[in-house]
Structure 1
């Protein structure tokens, strides 16, 4: 790798080990084996480099989430069983990327003092919602009303991810499992839908093939 790539790898390592706020330029230089001056040359500033590292780390986690939707081990399962199994895989990914998510919550707590990071995260919100709606329920923004549905469903799953993640970080042994989420969504959907109505919903995600 060249100095630019070494710096990015070092910054990402610091992101996982020390977090966003506590990482210094010297930390990155030490972790990457590159001079302090190279940070300004290649990335203009330490913050710009850390933002690039954060973006890459989030992309990598997003790719892992996509892999959670593999059908391996769930052939012949019902939609509800696939939904629960998928969430279990998503929750497993929290273990691999735990330092990243601790850092994310640290960033959120400091977000008023990190305008560039706020812009970076805000820019990815809509794309994340689209991706989650497609992954969980195969909702594409084609046809009347689909764009609104895609955004709403994506926001719902984004909220679930954040909520489950927060509970897992605090108390992983008592955080909800895929089965718990399935049971909960069945109860919520039954409470909202009219009794015996044609639009009564099962767990979100049951429409996914």
Structure 2
């Protein structure tokens, strides 16, 4: 790896260990084995590097959503029913919570910084939209290529649900929803009645 890649990897580690606001340029240099001048040369600023590192961290976390159960990866019997796919995806997301908690904490910190950092807001706009499409596809089986509007609105729903579940798990994991709770709740909403 060259300095550019080393800096990015070091910045990702720092974000997960220290968070966005507490990560200094010197922290990144120490974690990457590079020098201070490399940050400006390769990325322009520490903030630009941290913004890119955050995007990479969330992309890597998103891979949790795209992991397929063995029977599905092996070919299965075609597309799974949407509620089953929804449940299985939430099983993976919630099952990964303990090892990915730093990513969830980082996302909350980043959200709290959006109003003070226009560059960060700008950097997140495109990936935010792409993330919605990915959620619609992975959680509900909606192909954004063949049905972009359906994917857009389903992605908005899934993204709102993900943010809410994230907050609940960060605040009180013992009472936070399980994959089954979310699936049962969705069934109730779809049936249009409670009880």
TM-score over 0.5 for the pair: yes
Partner residue, 2:45? 45
1:1-209 superposed matches below 5 A: 1-67=1-67, 70-72=68-70, 80-141=83-144, 146-191=147-192
Q: For residues 142 and 12 of structure 1, what CA distance do their matches in structure 2 show?
A: 31
Verify the 8 A CA contact 1:29 1:36 in the aligned structure 2: yes
Q: Which has the higher Rg, Structure 1 or Structure 2?
A: 1
Q: For residues 167 and 37 of structure 1, what CA distance do their matches in structure 2 show?
A: 41
Q: For residues 9 and 23 of structure 1, what CA distance do their matches in structure 2 show?
A: 13
Q: For residues 79 and 149 of structure 1, what CA distance do their matches in structure 2 show?
A: 14
Deviations 1:119-150 (A, max 9, x none): 1222212111111112222222466xx33221
Structure 2 unaligned runs (5+)? Answer: none
CA gap of 1:141–1:62, structure 2 versus 1, over 3 A, is closer
How many residue pairs end up in the alignment?
Answer: 188
Q: For residues 11 and 149 of structure 2, what CA distance do their matches in structure 1 show?
A: 38
CA gap of 1:150–1:85, structure 2 versus 1, over 3 A, is closer
Verify the 8 A CA contact 2:91 2:179 in the aligned structure 1: yes
Deviations 1:63-92 (A, max 9, x none): 22101xx13368799764553232111112
**Cα RMSD, aligned residues only:** 2.1
Q: For residues 124 and 83 of structure 2, what CA distance do their matches in structure 1 show?
A: 31
Q: For residues 51 and 176 of structure 1, what CA distance do their matches in structure 2 show?
A: 30
Give the C-alpha shift of residue 179 in structure 1: 0.6
CA gap of 1:104–1:129, structure 2 versus 1, over 3 A, is same
Q: For residues 54 and 159 of structure 2, what CA distance do their matches in structure 1 show?
A: 18
